[in-house]
Structure 1
Amino acid sequence: MRNKIGKKKDSIMQIEKSAYGTTTNNEKVIQFKLQNKGGIQVTIITYGGILTEIMTPDSDGRMDNVVLGFNSLEQYEKKNPFFGALVGRYGNRISKGKFSLNGTYYLLAKNNGENNLHGGLKGFDKVVWKVENVKESTSFASLKLSYYSADMEEGFPGNLKTTVTYTLHSNNSLDVLYEATTDKTTVINLTQHSYFNLSGNFSQLIENHEVEIDADKFVPVDASLIPTGELASVENTPFDFRKSKIVETAINREHEQLKIGGGFDHCWVLNGKGYRSVAKAHHKESGRVMEVFTDQPGMQFYTGNFLDGTLPAPNNGVYVKRSGLCFETQHFPDSPNQPQFPDTTLEPGQKYETKTTFKFYINS
């Protein structure tokens, strides 16, 4: 199965649909390629809503994939560090795998030491999403996916209907729109877990990327990577990315928080409110820049510290430590257990809605 969705020959935006494979549970997985006139191509599979490729040009016009991924569904089904996946119901960690709502305690899987991570044993990254809608026009191409998470799935209360819409625009920006409703009070914190390497060469480390994060504070963690409850100033620390700096100059500095995470694996408290530009990554040699926009209060900046060379990369390589950067826009980790943090509760009758954008361009 391989076909073009669009009918207009002069349409700037194109969507191509094809079969990707069958899961071990005999579920069919579909692949969609969204492409604009400028050549940006985004590939998404319905398993985990995973972004498997983002092809972007460098300053010489050469196209390369800038997100870490695998060549097969079989590899995505194996244990992996959430390459390209949609994460839920709750992205990041929940302390001791439990939280309370309205006096009721809910127990979750402890799949990250003593803590719950990224939704549990079978989070949103490990399910096949339904295709709700596919649209293309002269200015955008979009793919809307949905997943129905039943009450008490992975220990979370409420029947949760979630949709995520990926939209590629003609200006080389990729929107990720998250929407959800519930029939019972619950908690929710969705994010996108792509690992970026703007060099397009995954044998190169991301330490030579320049990064900028608009945040005056970050969220310190304890030895198990659970927030201490403090919101600490970035001033005079390696966590100060308010002005663009090369990752290597910060990540190798002496700091207790860097020792705990093996590098950066922390949530930044983003400045401002509403939908705004919050971060940039720049790879000088290729000229590629990625700018991140979101309406979320936080962003987990992760430098691939736990990649260890055991996972296969395309072209017969492997993914070693610091092969990729993550910019996971979200609420703060462990918010259900930290009442001083912004609230992640979703009530019946409310609608969860948040948008993040990744925009790609060449530094002139």
Structure 2
Amino acid sequence: MTVQEIGQIDGEAVRAVVLGDASGPRARVITYGARLTELWVADRAGRQADIVLGHADLAGYVAGKAFLGATCGRFSNRIAGGRFWLDGREVQVDRNEGETSLHGGRAGFDRKIWQIVEASPRAVTLAAVSEDGDMGYPGRLEMQVRYALDAADRLWIEMTAETEAPTVVNMVNHSYFNMAGHGAVMGQRLRLGASHYTPVDAALIPTGEVLAVAGGAFDFMQMRAIGAALPDDGGFDHNLCLTGPLEPKWGEALRFCAEAVDPASGRRMEVWTSEPGVQFYTGAHLAGGLPGKDGAPIEAFTGFTLETQRFPDSPNQPQFPSARLEPGQKYRHLMAFDFTPAPEAQTG
């Protein structure tokens, strides 16, 4: 395990932790936003590439607004008008996307410097506190994020939280994946365990409907190229409903979320989660050539997210899975990433 200080923000040190080694998957996490900034995975020939987008230095993450690799919250994704009712009281939270609250507001969990509370060569646990009233959210919240590589070289992300008063919680990992490492992702192939999706209005707020994906742009029930059927607006940025059951998987109760493959290299990833939804975003707004790692610019369609989650705007949509958290309860969100290169015959 390697831990090093990579800079300071307002006099507080930001540290990076490297998990694993060159013999298998390797992850790098920084304490600013509890972010996953590198994830090295082998292709079918054993060649490794870093499959998550990121900036070259800490300054890039501080200046950036794309949430690269970040732990987002308190309520990730969108809340219409930044308002919802809780126990008969209207709650107004920070609005940072026009009239909408996105990913917890302007100073959400992605802007906190988390503390390392436990570290080993293959796991790190980070902790932070969101005080009562933070970005408008009620209840003091204590949260942790654990990144770990297990004996089978799977990467696990575990997000937990406990509150002192009723509140809403929806923490997500906002990594952008590119199974080739660099370049456009439109030719990469994806399968999603989602038979339905939640359509949105012009502000990307769910309309409240839950529609079948069958035969349309959102139908990734069978493996297909990401760019095969883009929506009319040019990209995906939608919540899909993971309709498979929770099942015993690697010692936890998880449901299948996604399988992603780069046909050229055979680099392959399966994602399993405890959550009912996933925000599939193809990065259409990553425009302007943001500075990436190794001199590679971050541009539109150079990465895609698989943000497992409760549904967007669920505090205002009682028919959606609830994001409410009570004192005495523990919020726990699991993601498991399994890396097994695909044989060449399966990647065409």
User: Is this a same-fold pair by TM over 0.5?
Assistant: yes
Counterpart for residue 98 of structure 1: 83
User: What does residue 65 of structure 1 align with?
Assistant: 50
User: For residue 266 of structure 1, what is the aligned residue in structure 2?
Assistant: 238
Q: 1:16 corresponds to which residue? A: 2
- Is there any run of 5+ residues in structure 1 with no aligned partner, and where? 1-14, 252-257
Q: Are the aligned partners of 1:268 and 1:298 in contact in 2 as well (CA < 8 Å)?
A: yes
1:98 deviates by: 0.9
1:220 Cα offset (Å): 0.3
> Which of 200, 214, 217 in structure 2 is aligned with 1:238?
217
- How far, CA to CA, are the matches of 1:307 and 1:27 in structure 2? 29
Q: Scaled by the length of structure 2, what TM-score is found?
A: 0.94
- Alpha-carbon deviations, 1:182-223, whole Å to 9, x = none? 0100000011000000101x2x20001100001110010001
Counterparts of 1:117-266 in structure 2, within 5 Å, are: 117-136=102-121, 141-200=122-181, 202=182, 204-251=183-230, 258-260=231-233, 262-266=234-238
Q: CA deviation at 1:249?
A: 1.0
**For 2:242 and 2:296, how far apart are their aligned partners in 1?**
35
Q: Please state how far the C-alpha of 1:37 moved relative to its aligned partner.
A: 6.8
Aligned equivalents of 1:93 and 1:99: distance in 2? 12
User: Which residue matches 1:279?
Assistant: 258
Give TM-score, length-normalised by structure 1: 0.90
Partners of 1:58 and 1:362 within 8 A in 2: yes
Q: Which residue does the alignment assign to 1:341?
A: 320
Q: Secondary structure of the residue that 2:297 maps to in structure 1?
A: strand
Structure 2 unaligned regions, length at least 5:
247-253, 344-348
Q: 1:88 is matched by which residue type in structure 2?
A: G
Residue 251 (structure 2) aligns with: none
Which of 289, 309, 315 is 1:330 aligned to? Answer: 309
**2:25 and 2:319 mapped to 1: Cα distance?**
41
The residue number in structure 2 matching 1:4 is: none
Report runs of 4+ in structure 1 exceeding 3 Å deviation: none
Task: Please list, as runs of the form range in 1=range in 2, the aligned pairs for 1:345-364 lying within 5 A after superposition.
Answer: 345-364=324-343
Moved more, 163-172 or 284-293: 163-172
**Per-residue displacement from partner, 1:10-48 (whole Å, max 9, x unpaired)?**
xxxxx211111111x111011100015732110000110
Q: Percent identical across equivalent pairs?
A: 40
- Which letter maps to 1:114? E
Deviations 1:107-164 (A, max 9, x none): 112211210000001010011001111134xxxx210111110001000000000011
The residue type equivalent to 2:238 in the other structure is H
Query: Matches of 1:29 and 1:167 in 2, distance apart?
Result: 20
Aligned to 1:320: 299
Counterpart contact for 2:43–2:268, Cα < 8 Å: no
Is the alpha carbon distance of 1:59 and 1:309 closer, same or farther for their aligned partners in structure 2, counting shifts above 3 Å?
farther
**SS in structure 1 at match of 2:232:** helix
For 1:69 and 1:37, the matched residues in 2 are separated by 19
Contact 1:22 1:29 in 2 (8 A): yes
Does the 8 Å contact 1:273/1:297 carry over to 2?
A: no
Q: Distance in 2 between matches of 1:134 and 1:319?
A: 31
RMSD: 1.2
Shift of 1:353: 1.1
Deviates more, 1:125-134 or 1:270-279: 270-279
**Residue of structure 2 aligned with 1:53, choices 25, 38, 42:** 38
Corresponding residue SS for 1:311: coil
How many matched pairs?
336
Give the Cα separation in 2 of the matches to 1:317 and 1:134.
31
SS of 1:74's partner is helix
